[in-house]
Amino acid sequence: MKKVIASVIVVLFIFLSSITIIKAENSGVKIAFIRHHNLWIKVDGKEKQLTKGEYITGPKWSHDGEWLAYAKGKKQSILELYRLKDGKKVIPSHSEASNYQWSPTENIIAFIFSGALNTFDAEKKNADFENVSAGVGDYAWYPDGKKFLVSSEAHLLPTGWTGAQLYEVQIDAHMNPHKMKHLYALPNEHDDFLALVASGFKWSPNQKWISFLAVPTASWSADSNTLCLVRADGSRFEKVDQMLLNTQWFQWAPSKNILAYIEGSGRVALENKHLKVKELPALQQNTFTPKGYVDWDFTWKNDNVIIVSRAKEAGIETPLEKRPLPSLYEIDSTSDEQHRITKPPHRQGDYHPIFMNKSNQLIWIRSDRKKANVWIANNDGKQEKKWIENIDVPEWYYERWNWENVISVKEE
């Protein structure tokens, strides 16, 4: 009788796990991932290899999920685009391109080459890239897809560094200064603040606030950068906190003006990294990381609940094989109720949670630092199931991992 009950439990578990995967695949989710340096996708439950024998990083989906952008080459990164419906490949520029970003409304991709911002229309026949603006340190598309928010780079004067300048630039500017509007001048160098460039612009849900990082010199920014806010009309500026140079570590809530971020200076991710939440227009921030722990990647489940990758705190002197590995925790930012929702096996950790709104499910990466798999579960972490095996493990820096270099998720 016990054997029969055990068999029924096993069959039920397999059945529920299968339902979890079918639910995600029926919701139209598309996954792009890197395996053995090649680009793969998983669409409608089927895996497909798109490149072979090339060094691929940084896959990014277009707004409609019909195109993929990625960097090709180990020594020199060439931007390449892939169209899913027919396998067409396009190279917008044979020069090295960086910081490529899809338009939020069209299949137009922007990228930087030698300090110049350019665009390329993937749908236009025999298209060539078009110049938009020179002197660009970083940028982001406005939510309407009609213009860019651009940061210049600061200048060193005899009296010290100036601050970076923020501009509103029309998509069809074509280097014409009359289609560029000055928005805000970041403060000059003073005390512990320096903004050589502003990076990682993100709009609040009501589009009245923009969050970004003020990035200082290279050696300084490895340990600390300033999280800032500016009103979309440039009428107000606020310095929020110190954090690492990781634009994935600050995110707005889905529909409220609430900003969550991982606070803490010092390049070592194993110490002094705390999840904080700031609700505008209030001035104070609330901390949700317990003493003795560190928080890393996170995702909003809804306007109140956050799922975060959390590990025990340790020093960099801790031997690699003894360093703590993370699990996923769910945090209610209104009540401060917290609980662990995943329990990875010994010497494995759970990273990079992504909440999928349409299927109401959670995916994440489980890794032992040498190999990695994509897992999927219900929104509470139950009925977990390995979904994609053997994706590449990205390069890491003092236990900080750039998983977005090897995976990209698109919900239809």
Q: Do domains 1-38+250-412 and 54-245 have the same CATH topology?
A: no
Is residue 298 predicted with pLDDT exceeding 90? yes
The reply to whether CATH 2.40.128 applies to domain 1-38+250-412 is yes
Residue with the two structure tokens 């959670």: 362
Q: How far apart are the first and last CA of the chain?
A: 46
Per-residue pLDDT tens digits for 174-199: 999 999 999 999 999 998 899 999 99
Q: Taking a C-beta distance cutoff of 8 angstroms, is the pair 63, 104 a contact?
A: yes
Quick one: how far is CA 302 from the chain centroid?
17
* Residues, the chain: 412
- Among 273, 276, 270, 283, which Cα is nearest to 325's? 270
pLDDT at 12: 55
Beta strand extents in 224-304 (DSSP E only)? 225-231, 237-243, 250-252, 258-263, 274-279, 286-287, 293-300
State the maximum Cα–Cα separation within the chain, in Å, rounded to a whole number: 85
Contact assessment for residue 54 and residue 37, using Cβ atoms and an 8 Å cutoff: yes
- Name the one residue in this structure whose structure tokens are 């329990």: 343
Query: Which two three-digit tokens encode residue 322?
Result: 């003894």
Going by C-alpha positions, the residue among 302, 309, 294, 295 that lies closest to residue 365 is 309
What residue segments make up the domains of the chain, in order of their start? 1-38+250-412, 54-245
Unique residue bearing structure tokens 């001035």? 283
The pTM of the full predicted model, rounded to 2 decimals, is 0.93
Region of residue 58 (left: phi > 0; alpha: psi -120 to 50; beta: else): left
Structure confidence by residue, pLDDT tens digits, 213-268: 999 999 999 999 999 999 999 999 999 999 999 999 999 999 999 999 999 999 99
> Mean of the per-residue pLDDT values for the chain?
94
Checking if the pLDDT of 13 tops 80, the result is: no
Give the single-character DSSP code of 301.
S
d(CA 154, CA 273): 28
The residue among 95, 104, 153 whose CA lies nearest residue 128 is: 95
Nearest C-alpha neighbor of 207 from the set 256, 247, 166: 256
| Range 148-165 average pLDDT | 97
Q: How many H helices and E strands in the chain?
A: 2, 36
CB burial class (10 A; 0-12, 13-18, 19+) of residue 126?
Answer: exposed
pLDDT, tens only, 340-388:
999 999 999 999 999 999 999 999 999 999 999 999 999 999 999 999 9
At the top level of CATH, the class of 54-245 is: mainly beta
Query: Distance (Å, rounded) from C-alpha 388 to C-alpha 188?
Result: 48
- Name the 3-class secondary structure at 205: coil
Element of type H or E holding 375: strand 372-378
